[in-house]
Amino acid sequence: MVYLQLDELEKFAKKNHIPIMQKEGINFLTDYIKKNNIKDILEIGSAIGYSAIKMALVCDDINITTIEKDRNMFNLAIENIKNFNLENRINIILNDALEIDLKNKYDLIFIDAAKSQYIKFFEKFNKNLKRGGTVISDNLSFHGLVEDDSKTKNRNTKQLVKKIRKYIEFLRNNENYITTFYTLGDGIAVSIKKAN
Ligand code: SAH
Ligand code: MG
């Protein structure tokens, strides 16, 4: 039953060009959550709630806070979360992530929102990550353009590619984290906060 519902979400996203996580990426993310016994998750960028639902389904004592700034997406996410009876475990906030202040600390922060703002998200929510916790960032390949941007002539796209490259450098040079980059899905970084 749940599988059917998930399938419908994937189809809906595809049809409406909503950039939910790709199969490989979401499998990597849920495996990571399982293996590392992650329980408290903060997500930036809910869209229709697909990845939040997938993460919550890993284990029934996982709790998720997810932030979405677009009201239409937010409304769809609310509906989908209710359909999965996950409203007690997924707390969705309608706001720009850069405008809110959270007090809780999380085991995992999943960044999957506006690619131009990743450094800002990372710096802002660092204080909400437990020691030894993980930040996972999605879309660092940006359809392969980060590795080779000759495939686009669009100035805005090129600008965005520059920002993503900057973020990758930022992660590489961040002494408080150890980052590993994975080329699966649309490019994923796993940054583990040092326990000092
Ligand atoms: N994580 C989702 C996909 C998210 S798509 C999944 O895999 O299922 C990216 C979403 O981030 C979009 O819905 C967009 O509206 C939202 N977003 C972009 N910038 C944001 C910001 N500053 N604060 C909150 N949400 C943001
Ligand atoms: Mg993404």
Q: How far is the CA of 16 from the centre of ligand 2 (A)?
A: 15
| Average pLDDT estimate for 50-79 | 98
Q: How far is the CA of 138 from the centre of ligand 1 (A)?
A: 11
pLDDT band at 79 (very low <50, low <70, confident <90, very high): very high
CA distance 58 to 12: 22
Tell me which ligand sits closest to the C-alpha of residue 140: 2
CA distance 28 to 112: 14
pTM (global) more than 0.85: yes
134-163 confidence digits (pLDDT tens): 999 999 999 899 999 998 899 999 999 999
Tell me which ligand sits closest to the C-alpha of residue 20: 1
- DSSP letter at 80 equals H
Q: Best mutation site among 48, 69, 139 for ligand 1, i.e. most ligand atoms within 8 A of its Cβ?
A: 69
CA distance 50 to 21: 8
pLDDT value, residue 84? 97
Tell which atom from ligand 1 comes closest to the C-alpha of 19.
Answer: 5
Domain annotation for the chain: domains and CATH numbers: 2-193 (3.40.50.150)
HSE-CB for 82 with a 13 A CA cutoff: 6
Q: Is the pLDDT of residue 2 over 90?
A: no
